[in-house]
Structure 1
Amino acid sequence: MGFRENEINGINDLNLCDGEQAVNKTELIDHIATSADISKAAAARALDAMIDGVTTTLAKNDSVTLVGFGTFMVSERAARTGRNPRTKEEITIDAAKVPKFKAGKALKDAVN
């Protein structure tokens, strides 16, 4: 397992073990299952439903706000000029819509 759990103020805290860079989906599902006292299958369905809900909402150009956690939104990236690293030739990079996440206060406070 790539993390260890600590309890701080009654909340399970997901901490990376030494040398770990990130928690993967399987480890997150394990954490959800343990924290919510549900099966891993139910935790996986819940996480998949959350991801699907956010994706579907963003595809409609709407945003998802989870108070205290943050906001998922769509941002417009303007067209710009880039450069092909091999040929050094200038290329035009088209404008695009990109997903963006803005952390909420509680998440920012937890990180600091």
Structure 2
Amino acid sequence: MTKAEIVNEISKKTGIDKATVLTAVEAFMESVKESLIQKEDNVYLRGFGSFILKKRAKKTARNISKNTTIIIDEHNIPAFKPAKVFVDAIKK
């Protein structure tokens, strides 16, 4: 499902025009990104899931094409962890 399809679905269900729904969806996504990037703060949506930062440790890797060793610094990556209720609903 794309963002446009999500906007259409919400617009149909609520009766709100697509432009307003698109603004709300984009504001939500921007808020989640801002929380994770700038504040390094997780976002919890009860009954849906959590947008979290996972910390990756510093590690040594190989560049196969150049046959060299490189060091990858410690860094954060975004992840989504679905709520138990959500996972259970999908399993049924």
TM-score range, shorter chain: 0.7 to 0.9
Structure 1: gaps (5+ residues): 1-22
Aligned twin of 1:50? 28
Aligned twin of 1:108? 87
Alignment of 1:1-112 (within 5 A): 23-59=1-37, 60-112=39-91
SS of 1:91 mapped into structure 2: strand
Q: Which amino acid aligns with 2:53?
A: V
Percent of residue pairs identical: 36
Give the TM-score taking structure 1 as reference length.
0.73
Give the TM-score taking structure 2 as reference length.
0.87
Bigger helix share: 2
Aligned twin of 1:20? none
User: After the TM superposition, which segments of 4 or more aligned residues of structure 1 sit over 2 Å from their partners?
Assistant: none
Structure 2: gaps (5+ residues): none
Q: How much has 1:85 moved relative to structure 2?
A: 2.9
RMSD between superposed Cα atoms in Å: 1.3
